[in-house]
Amino acid sequence: MRVVPAVRKTQSSGALPHVKGAGEFTLSNSKSKTRSFNSLEISVHNKLDSLESAWRTLEKNSNITIYQRFEWISICLETIENEPNFQPLIVTAHENNKLVFILPLSFQNGWIKKIRWIGGSHSNYNLALIDNEFAGRVCHTDIRHIVGQISLMLHGFGYLKLCCQPSQWAGQENPLLALDHQPSTNNAFGIELSDGFENVLKKGNGKRKRKKFRWQTRILENLGGARLVQASNPAEVLEILSCFHSQKSSRLRNQGLKDVFGGKKEHLFLKKIALNSLDKDDPTLTLFALKIDGKYRAICGGGVLRNHFSAHFISFANDELAYISPGEMLVYMLVEKLTKANFKSMDLGGGEERFKQSWCSQTIEMVDIIIPLSRISAVYVWVFRQILTIRRLIRQNPFLWKTYKRLRIAATRFQSHFNNN
C-alpha cells in the first residue's frame, strides 16, 4: 500500500537551518523544517525534551535494539556529544498526529558537514524507530520517497552516513534496506539461547569448549576458583568500569588502535548509563565480570531488551593469568547464566573475532548507507564508499587482515619510539 503519494511543502514558524561563516550551523529551538504529504508529516528537531513520551511509546511498538532506547540516546547527548561540534538532528514522522518514525541523528561540523547516527562508533547496531503497524504497510518505494524528502530537507549539509545497520533484527527485515547500501566492514554474531546451554555448545565445538573450561577450572583451584559477578550497586559499577577502562586502553594501545572509550566524556557516559540501569528489569547497561583471586580478569557490559542480551563491550586483563583466556571463560559462564535465566537470545556485538564466531550460530549481516546531500559532497561520498569496500575486502581476507594488523602495530611502535626521542 502506498502511503506517500504527492508532496505538499510546509514551513514551521521556527527559523530554517542555515550556515554561517565557515562551518557554523544554527537550528531553531523547536521544529526547523516540516514537510507534509498525505497524512504523514516529517519534522526535524534539535531537542529531545518534547519527544520523550512519544519516543518511549514508539520504543514499545517498533523493532529496535538497546541503542535506540530513549535512555541510551539522551545520556549519549548529555555526555559524549555534549560539545559545540555536535548537535542533535532528530527526524520524526507523524501520521494522523501519531509518531510512527524516528531517525536519531546528529550533525557533526567539519569541512564537509556530516549527519550520522547519535552515538557514532559507540553504537553497535543502528536502526530507525518505525512503528510496527506502519512498517507493515509501507513498501520499498515508500521508504525511498520518505528518505528522499528528508534528504531534500537537509540539503546544504554534506552527507548522510547511516552505517552499521543490521540487515535483519529479531526476524524482521530492516526497512531502510530499500535504499542503496553496501556491506559494512564487519558483520556481527548472535546466539540462540532458547534451546538451552547444551544445545548452544553443540552448535559450536562444544567438546573443545567443555574441555578447555575444565582445564581453566583446575588451573584456578589453588586461587579459589573463578566467579561471574554482576554489578549490583554503585561501588561495584565504578570498580568494574575502572578495570574495564584500564584493560581496554592497554589492549587497544598494543594493537595500534584508538581507544574510543578513553575520553572523560566516554567514561561519564558509561558510568551514568550503568548507574541508571541498576535494579531495572531491562537494564540499558549491566556489567558482568570474571573475578579471580580478588581481581576482575575479564569484563562484559551489555543491555537487555525483550529477553535479548546485547554485549556492548568485552575486555580482559593482560596479566599473569592471560594464558588461560579469561575472556573466553567469561563468555562461557555468561552464556550459561543467560540460558538458565531463560533468555531467548544474545549477541556479542560487531567485529569478527575468532571467539565470537566459535560461539555464535547466527551471522548478523551489517550494511552501510551513505547519501550525498549536495553536489560537492557526491564525489567525496563516492570515494568514501570505495574506501569502505576496500576495508571490507581486507577484513574478509585472512592474509591481508593479518598483514594489515602487523603493519598497524609496527606503525604504532615506530610513532611511539619517534615521540620518545
- Tell me the pairing of strands 345-350 and 129-130: unpaired
SS (H, E, C) the chain: CCCCCCCEEECCCCCCCEEECCCEEECCCCCCCEEEECCEEEEEECCCHHHHHHHHHHHHCECCCHHHCHHHHHHHHHCCCCCCCEEEEEEEEEECCEEEEEEEEEEECCCCCEEEECCHHHCCCCCCEEEHHHHHHCCHHHHHHHHHHHHHHCECECEEEEEEEECEECCEECHHHHCCCEECCCCEEEEECCCCHHHHHHCCCHHHHHHHHHHHHHHCHHHCCEEEEECCCHHHHHHHHHHHHHHHHHHHHHCCCCCCCCCHHHHHHHHHHHHHHCCCCCCCCEEEEEEECCEEEEEEEEEEECCEEEEEEEEECCCCCHHHCHHHHHHHHHHHHHHHCCCCEEEEEECCCHHHHHHCCEEECEEEEEEECCHHHHHHHHHHHHHHHHHHHHHHCHHHHHHHHHHHHHHHHHHHHHHHC
Q: Which of 49, 344, 2 is nearest to 196 (CA)?
A: 344
pLDDT tens digit sequence for 110-162: 778 899 999 988 899 999 999 999 998 888 888 888 888 888 888 778 899 99
Shared domain for 169 and 229, answered yes or no, is: no
**Which is more confidently placed, 259 or 305?**
305
**364 strand-pairing partners:** 188
Q: Are 44 and 94 in a shared domain? A: yes
Rg (CA), the chain: 23
The answer to whether residue 46 scores a pLDDT higher than 50 is yes
Distance CA 49, CA 44 (A): 14
Does the pLDDT of residue 4 top 60, yes or no? no
pLDDT class of 104 with cuts at 50, 70, 90: very high
Q: How confident is the model at residue 241 (pLDDT cuts 50, 70, 90)?
A: very high
Average pLDDT (13-34) is 34
Choose between 4 and 275: higher pLDDT: 275
Asked if residue 421 is part of any domain, the answer here is no
Q: What's the rounded Cα separation, in Å, for the pair 334 and 302?
A: 11
Cell 511543502 sits on residue: 9
Same domain flag for 244 and 306: yes
Does 34 score more than 70 pLDDT?
no
65 assigned to some structural domain:
yes
Cell readout for 238 is 565504578
The pLDDT of residue 147: 87
Domain boundary among 151, 179, 207: 179
Q: Which range marks the domain in which residue 346 is found? A: 189-364
pLDDT above 90 covers a percentage of the chain that reads: 55
Mean pLDDT across the stretch 225-237? 96
| pLDDT at residue number 155 | 76
pLDDT of 359-416, one tens digit each? 888 889 999 999 999 888 889 889 988 998 998 888 888 888 788 778 877 776 666 5
Mean pLDDT along residues 335-361: 88
Burial class (CB in 10 A: 0-12, 13-18, 19+), 222: exposed
**Domain co-membership, 229 together with 127:** no
Give residue 262's pLDDT. Answer: 84
Give a yes or no: residue 267 inside a domain. Answer: yes
CA distance 220 to 85: 49
Instruction: Assess whether pLDDT exceeds 70 at residue 30.
Output: no
Residues 6+ apart with CB under 8 A from 355: 327, 328, 331
Whole-number Å distance between alpha carbons of 174 and 147: 14
The mean pLDDT value for 303-319 works out to: 94
Cell digits for 69? 532506547
The per-residue pLDDT for 278 is: 96
**What is the reported pLDDT for 118?**
95
Last residue of a domain, one of 179, 213, 231: 179
Are residues 114 and 218 both part of a single domain?
no
- Greater pLDDT, 329 or 357: 329
Q: What is the CATH number of the domain that holds 266?
A: 3.40.630.30
> What region does 153 belong to: left with phi over 0, alpha with psi -120 to 50, or beta?
alpha
- Residue with the bigger pLDDT between 225 and 156: it is 225
Q: How far is CA 323 from CA 103, 214, 215, 254, 316, in A?
A: 44, 15, 12, 17, 11
pTM of the model: 0.86
Pick the last residue of a domain from 179, 209, 229: 179
**Mean predicted confidence (pLDDT) in 258-283:** 92
pLDDT at 56: 96
Segment 229-238 shows an average pLDDT of: 97
Q: What CATH number has the domain bearing residue 78?
A: 3.40.630
Find which of 86-100, 189-203, 297-311 is predicted with most confidence, using mean pLDDT. Answer: 297-311
